[in-house]
Amino acid sequence: MSKPIEDYGFIGNMLSGALVAQDGSMDWLCLPRFDSDACFAALLGTREHGYWRISPAGGPQRSSRRYLPHAPILETTFETRDGTAVLVDFMPLSDDPEKVDVIRLVRGVSGRVTMRMEMALRFGYGKTIPWVRRRDYGIHAVAGPDAVELVTRVPLHGEDMCTIAEFDVREGDVVPFTLAYHPLHREPHFIGDAQMRLEHTETWWRDWVRICRLSEFESPVWKDAVERSLVTLKALSYQPSGAIVAAPTTSLPEEIGGMRNWDYRYCWIRDAALTLYAFMNAGYFDEAGAFREWLLRAAAGAPNQMQIMYGVDGERRLTEIELTWLPGYENSVPVRIGNGACDQIQIDVFGELMDALHTARKSQLGPNQDAWRFQQTLLSRLEGLWREPDEGIWEVRGGRKHFVHSKVMAWVAFDRAIKAVEQSGFSGPVETWRALREEIHREVLVRGYDKGRNTFVQHYDGTALDASLLLIAEVGFLPPEDYRFRGTVEAIERELLEDGLVLRYRVEETEDGLTGEEGTFLVCSFWLADAYTMIGRTGDAEALFERLLSLRNDLGLLAEEYHPRLRRQLGNFPQAFSHIGLINTAYNLRRVSGPAQQRADLGEPPRADDASRNRAAGAPRDEPSLD
C-alpha cells in the first residue's frame, strides 16, 4: 500500500538522497548517485522491491517528526505505551563520490522501547536480491558491481530474505545503524563514530545556512519556508560537478494511476538556471559559480549539440526505458528511468541560460572570457533556430510548435547579450543581435497575441492558454502595465485556475502526446503570484503565496504538482522547480526591487557581497568567476 507523497521526508548529502516515510521506512534510496539504481524501491512498488524500516516493534501510539534546524537531517519521534524513542536519519557528507553512507540513529528518550529493524536490500530498482554474508560488524551484501556494509552492534538475523533486528532502547541509549556503499572493486570503508558524523553534518549545514539573507522576512513562517527550500535545493545539487537535479525521484505520478511518470534525477539547464537565480537572490554565489563551471564542461563542444538536460556528470545519453517489474506508485505505470526529453529542442533554455549568466555578471562576480565565448556560440546557433518550432518549456511529446514562451525566451537571450556589450564592455555582433531582438518582439506581438481576447496564446495559430506566458513581464519582454500582459494574466485567471491554483495548460487543448490529466503545477502558481506583484495586486500575491505555503508537507517540502480535489501532492518529490518558485516569490514580495524586476532589468540585482562569507563557511569548492 503506497503512502501519500507528502508522507515522505527527504535526506541527502549532495551525492544522492533518500525518502523516509512517517513510519520510519526508507522506501527510496539510490546509491551512490542520485541517478544510480535504487536499492530500496518500495516507493514504486511493494516491500518486495526493497525498504529499510526502523520503528517500535509493536507500532507507535503516536509519531511526529521534524527536520533538525538548518539541515536535511530528519528526526522522527515514536511514542509508545512503554516509552519514547527518536530516530535520526541523515546522509553524511563525503569527499569520495563512490563512498556514500546513510546513518540511522535510534535514541531512547524515556521508558524502555522495543524497536524492530527490517531491511530488504534489492539492488537494480527492486529486482536483484543480493548475496548477504555475516560479519562481526553486521552484514556485507553484494550484487553485481554494488556492495554495502550494514554496521551495527545489535544482533542481526535473517527472515524471508530480509535482515532483522529487535532491540530495546532506554533513556539515554544511542543505537546507530550505518549503511555504507562502495563499488565492489573497492575496499569497504567504516564510518567510525556515528554521533560525531551527525555533529559534523549538522555543523556543515548550519554554517551553510548562515550565509542566507533572511532578514527581510519578518514572518518566521516565511523565513523557515525559504530556508528549508534553499537547504533542499542545495541537497539536490551534485557536489563533485556542481550540477543540480530536478528531483531525487523517478516516476512519482502527475496523475494517480496515470502514465505521466518521468525520471527527474538529471540536470535540466532550465531548472538549474532558475535554481541559480534563487541561490543568488538568497546571497549564495559559490553555487552559481559551480553551476556555470558544470555547464561549460557539460555543454562544451559544438553548440548545435547542446542538450536541454544532462546527467549529473555531464552525460548526454539518458536513454529512456521502462522498468516493467515495478508496479508503480499506486499502480501508476510505466515506471521510467532515463528521459527522452534529452533529445528535444527547447528554445527557452537559451534565454534562461543567458539570463542567469547576465544576473551573475551584474552581481559583480568577475568577468570570464570563456563563458562569454560560449554564450556567443550559443547565440550564433539561436540566430537561425529561433524561427523553428520546438517542444517548449513543457517538453511536449505531441509534436513541435511555435511556442510563444520559447520565442519570448529567444528574445531574452539576445536582449541579455546586447546588455553584456552595452553594460559590461564585452564585444560581439551587437547590431545583428539588436535586429533579431526587434524582429522577435515584433513577430510575437503579431503571431503570439490574440487581439480579440486580449491575451497571448500558447503557440502561433492556436487559441490555448499557457501558464508560461505569466513570465512575459518578469523577463522584461513587456512592462507589467502593458494591457496585453494584464489581459493575459486575467485570461489565465479565467481559464487555467483550479481552485485558485494554476494548471500549466489544459490537457484537452494541448497536444502533449500523453493521455490522462494532471494536477495544478506549483511553480506556475508562484509565477501568478509574481505577476500579481508586478501589476500591483500585492494583496492577491500575498494571499496566493500564503496558500501555496499551506500546501507544503509538515516538513516544508513540495512536489511538482498539487491536486486540489484530492488534496494531495503529485509528481516527483521534492521538486526543485516548486522550491525555486517559493524562494523567488518570497523575495519578490519583500523587496522593493524584487527578482521579477531584476530579471526585467528594472532594478538592482542581488550582489555578491556575501561571496567571501560563503567561502569562509566551507562551501565545498572554490568559487569560479562568472562572466
Ligand X SMILES: OC[C@H]1O[C@H](O[C@H]2O[C@H](CO)[C@@H](O)[C@H](O)[C@H]2O)[C@H](O)[C@@H](O)[C@@H]1O
Contact residues for ligand X, defined by CB under 6 A: 246, 262, 264, 268, 270-271, 339, 341, 393-395, 397, 577
For the CB of residue 538, give the shortest distance to ligand X in the complex, in Å. Answer: 28
CA distance 425 to 436: 20
Q: How far apart are the first and last CA of the chain?
A: 51
Residue pair 587/528 in contact by the 8 Å Cβ criterion: no
Q: How many Cβ atoms are within 10 Å of 303's Cβ, its own excluded?
A: 18
Lookup result for grid cell 542481526: 156
Query: Considering only CA atoms, which of 149, 175, 4, 152 is closest in space to residue 87?
Result: 175
Structural Rg of the chain based on CA atoms: 24
Specify the residue, 334 or 487, whose C-beta has the smaller distance to ligand X: 334
Specify the residue, 76 or 237, whose C-beta has the smaller distance to ligand X: 237
State residue 367 phi and psi, 5-degree precision.
-70, 155
Specify the residue, 341 or 489, whose C-beta has the smaller distance to ligand X: 341
For residue 574, cis peptide bond before it (omega within 30 degrees of 0): yes
Cell numbers for 44: 514504486
Cell numbers for 163: 535482515
CA distance 532 to 527: 9
Label residue 498 left, alpha or beta by phi (over 0 means left) and psi (-120 to 50 means alpha): beta
Specify the residue, 355 or 395, whose C-beta has the smaller distance to ligand X: 395
Q: How many Cβ atoms are within 10 Å of 480's Cβ, its own excluded?
A: 22
For the CB of residue 100, give the shortest distance to ligand X in the complex, in Å. Answer: 24
Specify the residue, 205 or 262, whose C-beta has the smaller distance to ligand X: 262
Specify the residue, 15 or 393, whose C-beta has the smaller distance to ligand X: 393
Cell numbers for 91: 546522509
Specify the residue, 560 or 623, whose C-beta has the smaller distance to ligand X: 560
Specify the residue, 50 or 571, whose C-beta has the smaller distance to ligand X: 571
For the CB of residue 466, give the shortest distance to ligand X in the complex, in Å. Answer: 12
Cell numbers for 520: 495544478
Specify the residue, 38 or 180, whose C-beta has the smaller distance to ligand X: 38
Name the DSSP class of 475: T
CA-based angle 456:462:464, to the nearest 5? Answer: 65
Query: Considering only CA atoms, which of 377, 74, 36, 278 is closest in space to residue 181?
Result: 36
Tell how strand 138-143 and strand 131-135 pair up.
Answer: antiparallel
For the CB of residue 102, give the shortest distance to ligand X in the complex, in Å. Answer: 25
For the CB of residue 316, give the shortest distance to ligand X in the complex, in Å. Answer: 15
For the CB of residue 310, give the shortest distance to ligand X in the complex, in Å. Answer: 13
For the CB of residue 530, give the shortest distance to ligand X in the complex, in Å. Answer: 17
For the CB of residue 557, give the shortest distance to ligand X in the complex, in Å. Answer: 15
For the CB of residue 342, give the shortest distance to ligand X in the complex, in Å. Answer: 8
